[in-house]
């Protein structure tokens, strides 16, 4: 799968669950439950203990498209890519991440908030610009404003987004959205509450 095919799959998915948990077991459990509901694209953040090993485990499933989030540097990016990550995400602009992604044929998402930062992210090699934190910066209205001056740029708002907000962000011009705690709830996973996570997954799929 080349980068253009990956971007098409991300757009088709509409929602990327952002898995950010303190427990590897809980993270893997939550991903399994969401996968059973039909979600097949996941971002595993580097703040999850044993994130690289979890990425490697998930990437063995050919039905999944797995990426790494909050990637701090090129060395970490290479470790994630070697484990099977197909996209790399950072909530800031870091041009050193572009090289490892290009070498591996993986997609790169870099974070931005303002028009100046979006330009910087694109110049640094981003295939997708992650707009973070989206909800506190103006929500869909902020995405609509950015999309008006960056037509054709794939924008992925993340941060404070709930399943019920997805439609508004897509209508405002987002290519797809990232959802963390409102979808991948650590307390629910720790409590074994499959129903809560499954209900949130069904809500985003709807």
Q: Find the CATH number of the domain harbouring 33.
A: 3.20.20.70
Q: What is the reported pLDDT for 124?
A: 98
* Residue of 5, 22, 36, 43 marked active site: 43
- Which portions of the chain are predicted below pLDDT 70? none
DSSP class of 158? B
With beta carbons less than 8 A apart as the criterion, state whether 83 and 60 touch: no
With beta carbons less than 8 A apart as the criterion, state whether 90 and 70 touch: yes
* Separation of alpha carbons 88 and 85, rounded Å: 7
Q: What is the reported pLDDT for 81?
A: 98
Domain count across the chain: 1
Q: What is the reported pLDDT for 69?
A: 98
* Residue of 5, 37, 103, 130 marked active site: 130
Q: Tell me the residue range of the domain where 151 lies.
A: 3-205
Q: What is the reported pLDDT for 189?
A: 96
43 catalytically annotated: yes
């Amino acid at each position: 799968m080349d980068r253009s095919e990956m971007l098409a799959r991300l757009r088709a998915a509409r929602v990327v669950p952002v898995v950010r948990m303190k427990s590897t077991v809980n993270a893997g459990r939550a991903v399994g439950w969401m996968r059973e509901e039909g979600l097949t694209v996941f971002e595993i953040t580097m703040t999850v203990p044993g994130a690289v090993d979890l990425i490697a485990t998930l990437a063995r499933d050919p039905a999944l498209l797995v990426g790494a989030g909050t990637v701090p540097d090129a060395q970490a990016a290479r470790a994630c890519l070697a484990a099977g990550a197909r996209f790399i995400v950072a909530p800031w602009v870091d041009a050193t991440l572009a090289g490892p992604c290009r070498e591996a044929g993986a997609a790169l998402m870099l974070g931005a908030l303002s028009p100046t930062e979006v330009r910087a992210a694109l110049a640094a090699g981003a295939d997708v610009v992650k707009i973070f934190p989206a909800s506190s910066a103006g929500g869909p209205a902020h995405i609509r404003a950015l999309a008006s001056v960056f037509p054709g740029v794939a924008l992925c708002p993340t941060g404070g987004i709930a399943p019920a907000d997805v439609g508004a962000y897509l209508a405002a011009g987002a290519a797809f959205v990232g959802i963390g705690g409102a979808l991948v709830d650590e307390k629910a996973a720790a409590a074994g509450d499959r129903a809560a996570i499954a209900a949130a997954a069904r809500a985003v799929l709807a």
